Chain A
Amino acid sequence: MATPSLAMIPSAYADSKLYSLIPNNGDGDFTFNRDSSATRIGQNGLIQTVGYFGSELVTNGDFATDTDWTKETGWTISGGTANFSGGTGNKAIYQAAGITNGKTYKIQYQVSSISAGQVAVRLGGMAGVDEITATTIGNYTGYITATGSANGNIHIEDNDNNFVGSVDNLSVKEVLGDQPRLNYDISNGVVQSCPSLLLEPASTNLVPYSEDFSQWTSDTNASITSNSIISPDGTQNADKLIAGSSTARQAIKFNLTASGDISAYVFAKKGEYTVIQLTDASSPSAFANFDLENGLVGSTDTYTANIENYGNGWFKCSITYNSVGSINSFRLSITQSSTSARLVNFAGNNSDGLYIYGAQVEALSYATSYIPTNGSSQTRAAETCFGAGTSSTFNSTEGVLYCEISALSDDLTYRLISLSDGTSNNRIYLGFNSTTNTIYFVSEAGGVTQVLITYTVTTLTDFMKLAVKYKVNDYSLYLNGQEVATDTLGTVPSGLNSLQFNSGAGSSIFYGNTKDVRVFNEALTDLQLQKLTTL
């Protein structure tokens, strides 16, 4: 097999970058952008947050107790604040915060009182280099990049030998930026060994409290015990939904006004009860039961329902539908059988229940990755990935564009991967179009379409291996080891210099999963293309 001129198998990334394996001089790397955090399934099978800020690095930043901090002369902790009343020698209060050289940190603190002087927050070992200073009461935010002299500590310091006042609510978080997501699929509860690059559109979780179910309303007899067991994110923050002792609905609900395409899910794990039911109020008959013992969808009406095994007894229970009226009340109910009808009354014992985590409702025709919320709806920004290669990377005379991809859904939109000159005039693009379950391949040269091939498959959401060979009057499309289409009439585009997860002109962004993308600078043989694309 020939060596590709560019190969990206998702394995390494940095802030705003997705690295290619070949070439390894930087020319083959993609520029990545997403202006918010997002979640992925990590290698350990747990839901993890990726970008934009890391976890809290300061312990006892609210100074609730006189612990965790090293206090130089003059500093005290009392009354819920760190206090200083003047002195000499720029005395500080500090703690080890795991600050690492080369990384950037977002630092926030509050000056709750000040009667003289100036206070500063800085990274230990970086005095006078970069600091966030304050001379008045208020909240302060700044960003500092740790340099070679940083010693891992965070300091609050009397900055002018004259500070008299109090500091509170210090927070330090690493700025992770817009990092790409290398997502590990979970199949039947088993984490797959190879990740895929996950690119998704913007989406909003309309549920304001996706994890704190104590904020939901009991309907009418169920209750919540918070933080009962380990959730799919690996921390003890999954709640228990408990059936009360009165004969009534054993549900919780949240009022939401949304209609049209709706996708919703919740992660659930069996307790003493083994069936959870999802309903809303847009239809008097809509419901879906999920059997958490056997991992099966039970009785349903109106909804399209799906259940996925996330391991450790957790299942992602999801529904999609088109709601004519507003969904009003979105409910999670305990029910006694997978064949139970909608919202059946029964009596529990105020103890038995099942476990829930991560509720999400989106105004989309398909569900996207989990967007955690805590008090307000939250939006994950759209992702883009583009700009790999240069004119010396690619051969415009002949070659092969290969990819192993799957769609997020058959959502009837254009989702393309392209090799282009950065415009819509000269490009080869491959992906999915607006016809159901259709693979789409186009070659354009000088603004004129040379080849246009469509090919229908049974599903777009399973991974497939696709390759297109381009050469003057010799085009072919391979799918999963088979040549499925050819075209023997067409010239080739010129000036190819960029591989992008879009149409080449910025439109039709490829939202989907990618395990592999390669470009070969020669037209591979039929046998090579068969081998390359065989699953």
Chain B
Amino acid sequence: MKISKYEFSDEASALSKIASLPHATDEDGNDYATHSHTIVKLGHIVLEQGEYNEEGEETKAPVLSDKYSVDVLWKDLEETDEEGNVTIDHPYGWKSKALDLDDEGVHGFLGVKYQDNKM
């Protein structure tokens, strides 16, 4: 089990990468994942909080990241070569989008620390 945090240039790029992970269509036409990774679309995270009046109406817009963030708890990525060496890496096309944070970031997976499990 590994945790990685990613930044994509936009939502479409992120969704495209997520869609490239194994999935299938069930008997009722619904698309479902056949992998066991947990993917959390954080979107454009807030860098600076907005300001709101007494009614909660926005008086100053929050500053959002121009990147689209995704956190993934990867499962079963280990690959073993013929000599028995085990390697683990990001799925194809994800590595260039990965971040390496020094803290836990703005989101976590309950009970499983990013710092202890990051790829």
Contact = CB atoms under 8 A, between A and B. Distances in A.
Interface of A: 33, 35-38, 49, 51-53, 106, 108, 139, 141, 202, 204, 208, 220, 249, 255, 257, 280-282, 284, 328-329, 331, 371-372, 375-382, 384, 414, 424, 434, 503, 505-508
Nearest to A281: B56
A96 B55 CA distance: 55
Nearest to A342: B55
B32 to A, nearest CB: 4
B36 A33 contact: yes
Contacts of B107: 204, 376-379
A376 B105 contact: yes
27 contacts: A35-B75, A35-B112, A37-B110, A51-B111, A52-B112, A53-B111, A53-B112, A106-B116, A141-B116, A204-B40, A220-B54, A255-B52, A281-B52, A281-B55, A281-B56, A282-B56, A328-B50, A329-B56, A331-B56, A376-B107, A377-B108, A379-B73, A379-B107, A382-B38, A434-B28, A507-B32, A508-B28
Given A52-B112, A376-B108, A414 B38 contact: no
A141 B112 CA distance: 13
A220 B46 CA distance: 23
Contacts of A141: 116
Contacts of A372: 110
Interface string B57-92: 110001000000001010100000000000000000
A378 B108 contact: yes
Contacts of B50: 255, 257, 328
Nearest to B23: A507
B12 interface: no
B36 to A, nearest CB: 7
Contacts of B96: none
A426 B116 CA distance: 43
Given A381-B38, A414-B28, A371 B110 contact: yes
B48 to A, nearest CB: 11
Contacts, number: 110
B26 interface: yes
Contacts of B100: none
Nearest to A504: B27
A38 B46 contact: no
Contacts of B55: 281, 284
Contact of A378 (B1, B32, B109): B109
Given A257-B46, A281-B57, A375-B104, 14 more contacts: A35-B75, A139-B115, A281-B52, A328-B50, A328-B52, A329-B56, A376-B104, A379-B40, A379-B110, A381-B73, A381-B110, A414-B26, A503-B26, A503-B27
Nearest to A248: B54
Contacts of B36: 33, 35, 384
B16 interface: no
A375 B113 CA distance: 13
A506 B112 contact: no
A36 B38 contact: yes
Given A35-B75, A255-B49, A376-B105, A49 B111 contact: yes
B56 A280 contact: yes
A434 to B, nearest CB: 7
B116 A108 contact: yes
B26 A508 contact: yes
B19 interface: no
A36 B116 contact: no
B73 A506 contact: no
Given A328-B58, A384-B36, A503-B26, A36 B52 contact: no
